[in-house]
Amino acid sequence: GDSVTQMEGPVTLSEEAFLTINCTYTATGYPSLFWYVQYPGEGLQLLLKATKADDKGSNKGFEATYRKETTSFHLEKGSVQVSDSAVYFCALSPRTSGTYKYIFGTGTRLKVLA
Amino acid sequence: EPEVTQTPSHQVTQMGQEVILRCVPISNHLYFYWYRQILGQKVEFLVSFYNNEISEKSEIFDDQFSVERPDGSNFTLKIRSTKLEDSAMYFCASIQGADGYTFGSGTRLTVV
């Protein structure tokens, strides 16, 4: 079945460091791909999305490119801030699902130190 | 910006009791969902709802669970007889199309 695999956390970085959080997926067809962020004590917020191969989603300095050949959607940011400390979830929505159901990865906790 | 509203933010209940979690989705959205997140674990799909009926449900969503849209605005999740393992964060979400969910801030359910 469809699935999402994220790199294990926690990831600890110093402020202004480069961030990569790996996400790979298994799906039938061409799913839509998403990154959600969960700040402490809060719900899930959509960070960025891509709906077809080679699309690049971007928001708040974060980017991710839909790579069909490697079935990946890695999240990157050039210079992280303390305020980026959160849990990041990669998710896919199968095209075969008429209900827009999402399948989430396990989440990667990011901690940024000043 | 439109929001999905969930109440209560935290509910403590005794094992075996019924609970109702409430959600007000965004008014022009068509699809509604419940997900849950057991502490520190992945976010899991429970159920989707469209056109006043369940369109898909997971294995987790057994006979103890039900959903309802009793009026034009509320969307509820009922757990008939809670178990300890139902303790989790429950998120409501809504969507109009393929743009990406808007999630509520969640209800933390603690079963004691």
CB pairs under 8 A between A and B: 56
Q: Is A5 on the interface with B (CB under 8 A)?
A: no
Mutate to test the interface with A, among B46, B47, B101 (most CBs of A within 10 A): B101
Note whether A45 contacts B104, CB cutoff 8 Å. no
Note whether B103 contacts A43, CB cutoff 8 Å. yes
Give the number of C-alpha atoms closer than 13 A to the C-alpha of residue A34, restricted to the C-beta side: 23
Question: Quick one: closest CA in A to B54, which residue?
Answer: A99
Using only C-alpha atoms, chain B has a radius of gyration, in whole angstroms, of 13
Q: Is A105 on the interface with B (CB under 8 A)?
A: yes
Note whether B98 contacts A32, CB cutoff 8 Å. yes
Q: Order the strands of the B75-79 sheet from edge to edge.
A: B5-7, B19-24, B75-79, B65-68
Average pLDDT over residues A96-107: 83
Place of tokens 């901690």: A111
pLDDT tens digits, residue range B48-74? 999 889 999 999 999 999 999 988 789
Which residue among A42, A43, A99 sits closest to B55, beta carbon to beta carbon?
Answer: A99
Structure confidence at residue A8 (pLDDT): 83
- DSSP character at residue A41: T
CA dist., res. B33 & res. B51, Å (int): 12
Enumerate residues 6+ apart whose C-beta is below 8 A from A26: A1, A2, A3, A4, A5, A71
CA dist., res. B33 & res. A111, Å (int): 30
pLDDT tens digits, residue range A33-52? 999 999 987 888 999 999 99
Structure confidence at residue A4 (pLDDT): 95
Share of chain B above pLDDT 90, in %: 76
Average pLDDT over residues B18-47: 92
